[in-house]
Amino acid sequence: MSGNLPLVLSVTSGKGGVGKTNLSVNLAHSLAKKGKRVVLLDADLGLANVDVLLGLTPERNLFHLFSEGVALSDILYSTPYGFDILPASSGIGEMLTLSTGQKLDLLESMDTLEDNVDFLIVDTGAGINDNVLYFNLAVQERIVVLTAEPTSLTDAYSLIKVMKLNHGVEHFKVVVNMAASEKAAREMFVRLYSACDHFLSGVSLDYAGFLPQDPAVRKAIVAQRPVCQQNPNAPVCQAIGKLADKIQNWEISANLDGNIKFFWKKLLFQH
């Protein structure tokens, strides 16, 4: 995407425990392997775990941006896997809801990434709290992750409902994780699609794909490495590779009437 504006996308969910962060990490790895410049923002600000999943110990995180005025370039952490991360803090209550001033600080800082990034992946927290909504409003594309669990379906619907009714967001991509089969994944997508079609006029859901149940994922989590680095031939990695190919096509059709700063500024005055 050299010479163009970066594509900013979120990986989000209504329910925790659906594998959202694992998808974010391995999607960043897969895009980086394709020669893309990728930054992964850990936007679960109070319960961050991207660095833990990768077995990394950055000295600084976004808390230092807000509390000490540390430059974003000094927080940006290069991983051994070809992409950079913007780590967040864990166990710091004041990070759970950003103030308007902190949003402005982040807005101004993110603008510095624009010329050096092809993809900015925002790994949000789960649910419908202020931070989750904030980051989902600030992106061009939203990937909603769900599993076959009924609570995952209802919580995904709740997230989409709040985004639509409270903020006018209508377009979402859907990935079904830990699916027993593609048939089962599509059935889950249809259930979510039907609920949105019936109760939320104007919402557009696109089936972006599914990730199969794969024991390689658990092994990689224990080893604190991306599964697509540890076992690139695993079925789940083949599926993530297909999703990465799709995302590269999204950049062609993405709304390019604004850059990173545009999206964060739009959010600041809307939310």
* Measured distance CA(42)–CA(123) in Å, rounded: 5
In this predicted model, which residue has the larger pLDDT, 137 or 101?
137
What distance in Å separates the CA atoms of residue 200 and residue 159, rounded to the nearest whole number?
12
Name the β-bridge partners of 144.
Answer: 12, 174
At residue 75, the pLDDT reads 94
Q: b/e for 36-69, b at 16 or more Cβ within 10 A? A: bbbbbbbbbbbbbbbbebbebebebbbbbbbeee
Q: What is the pLDDT of residue 16?
A: 94
- Compute the distance between CA of residue 54 and CA of residue 51 in angstroms, rounded to an integer: 5
Can you give the pTM of this predicted structure?
Answer: 0.92
pLDDT score, position 271: 46
* Per-residue burial over 212-250, b = 16 or more CB atoms within 10 Å of its CB, e = otherwise: bebebbeebbeeebbbbbbbbebebbebbbebbeebbeb
Kindly report, residue by residue over 119-162, the tens digit of the pLDDT.
Answer: 999 999 999 998 899 899 989 999 999 999 999 999 999 999 99
Residue with more model confidence, 122 or 110: 122
Q: If pLDDT is split at 50, 70 and 90, which confidence band does 246 have? A: very high
Q: For residue 228, what pLDDT is reported?
A: 97
Q: pLDDT, tens digit, for every residue of 32-56?
A: 999 999 999 999 987 889 999 999 9
Q: Is residue 53 a contact partner of residue 21, using CB atoms and an 8 Å limit?
A: yes
Nearest partner of 241 among 10, 35, 33, judged by Cα: 33
Cα 150 from chain centroid (whole Å) = 22
- The pair phi, psi for residue 7, each rounded to 5°, is -90, 125
pLDDT digits (tens, 9 = 90+) for 165-222: 999 999 999 999 999 999 999 999 999 999 999 999 999 999 999 999 999 999 999 9
Q: For residue 19, which of 166, 236, 196 has the smallest C-alpha distance?
A: 236
β-strand pairing of 38-43 with 141-146 = unpaired
Q: b vs e for 9-34, b when ≥16 Cβ sit within 10 Å of the residue's Cβ?
A: bbbbbbbeebbbbbbbbbbbbbbbbe
Looking at residue 6, the DSSP 8-state letter turns out to be P
Closest of 249, 253, 248 to residue 30, by C-alpha: 248
> What dihedral angle (degrees, nearest 10) is formed by the CA atoms of 194, 196, 201, 207?
-80
Contact, 159 vs 67, CB < 8 A? Answer: no
